[in-house]
Amino acid sequence: MDKERILEKIESVVANGRVMVDEPMKRHTTFKIGGPADLLVEPSSIEEVEDVLNICRSEDIPVTVIGNGSNLLVRDGGIRGVVVKIAELLSDVSVYEEKIVAEAGALMSKISSKALEHSLGGFEFASGIPGTIGGAVTMNAGAYGGEIKDYVSAVTCIDSEGQVKEYSGEEMAFGYRKSLVQAEGLVVLKVEISLNRGDRDEIKSKIDDYTERRTSKQPLHLPSGGSTFKRPEGYFAGKLIEDAGLRGLRHRNIQVSEKHCGFVVNLGESKAEDVLNLIGVVQKTVYDKFGIQLEPEIRIIGEEI
């Protein structure tokens, strides 16, 4: 890739200062880990997203789309091509009667707060999910018995040919931690959520309850990628890891959380290699003891050094 030429092209459609060269990805993930991206772009409009993707498509440059990096581990060699970060600069949230329309970079907590403000119930479970709505739709995020699929009524995406399309909730083919976005390489631009009118005090009470549960049980004070493993059918990953005797297991500055064994946390300056090594030990130990293969829930991308 001719980095300088591509940089010039992208800067012609994205305001200066929001295109970064050799940008350390540890600045863009909640794990605080990751090697450099060749170019990282932060668009502030849907039109800018379209323009950047069109440039990359015409130049045959690989594109990696991220949100706020809350479910992401970037390997130490970084990411080749262009990273498009759809986050706070593309995060407007609007309410229309019992529907909320949010740009893909809007945080789940922001949408939950907006729902509370308008006495709309159903989205309380999402109040503490740290990701963006775009990322949540991509992986059908869920917590405390709720999943995104239960509330999404429409999703506007860019497909692999650069066409902007709207999909219904049913067309998104949601499954456990998967969706049409992953299957077809779509880029989420906007999401429409359908909720129900409710009692504001009851909605607030549910949010407070979920918040208390999260803060008391999860290691929110340390960098991590959220829940490290998917839930095996009929089991809980954290319980399996605890029963395998791995609570607090440490490899360099990476540790199985002492507070919640379903989380792998970063205790200091760390490398993705250390995370992957510890994940491997956890997977092998759990499999050897219980015959259950744990699958990572975090998205692992990028190149090794």
User: In residues, how long is the chain?
Assistant: 305
Candidates 135, 139, 115; CA nearest to 125 is: 115
Cα distances (Å, whole numbers) of residue 109 to 89, 136, 262 = 16, 12, 22
Paired residues of 193 in beta bridges: 100, 152
Hey, what are 59's tokens?
A: 């130049």
- CB of 163 closer than 8 Å to CB of 184: no
DSSP string over 213-280: HHHHHS-TTS-EEEE-BPPPTTS-HHHHHHHTT-TT-EETTEEE-SS-TTEEEE-SS--HHHHHHHHH
Q: Hey, which residues does 264 pair with through a beta bridge?
A: 256
- Beta pairing class for 224-227 and 263-266: antiparallel
Beta carbons within 10 angstroms of residue 229's beta carbon: 24
Q: Which residues are catalytic?
A: 177, 227, 297
DSSP-based three-state secondary structure for 46: helix
Gap between the Cα atoms of 81 and 147, Å rounded: 32
Element (H, E) at 81: strand 79-85
CA atoms within 13 A of residue 130's CA, in its CB half-sphere: 18
**For the chain, how big is the Rg over CA atoms in Å?**
20
CA 120 to centroid of chain Cα atoms: 24
Q: Is there a contact between 12 and 41 (Cβ–Cβ < 8 Å)?
A: no
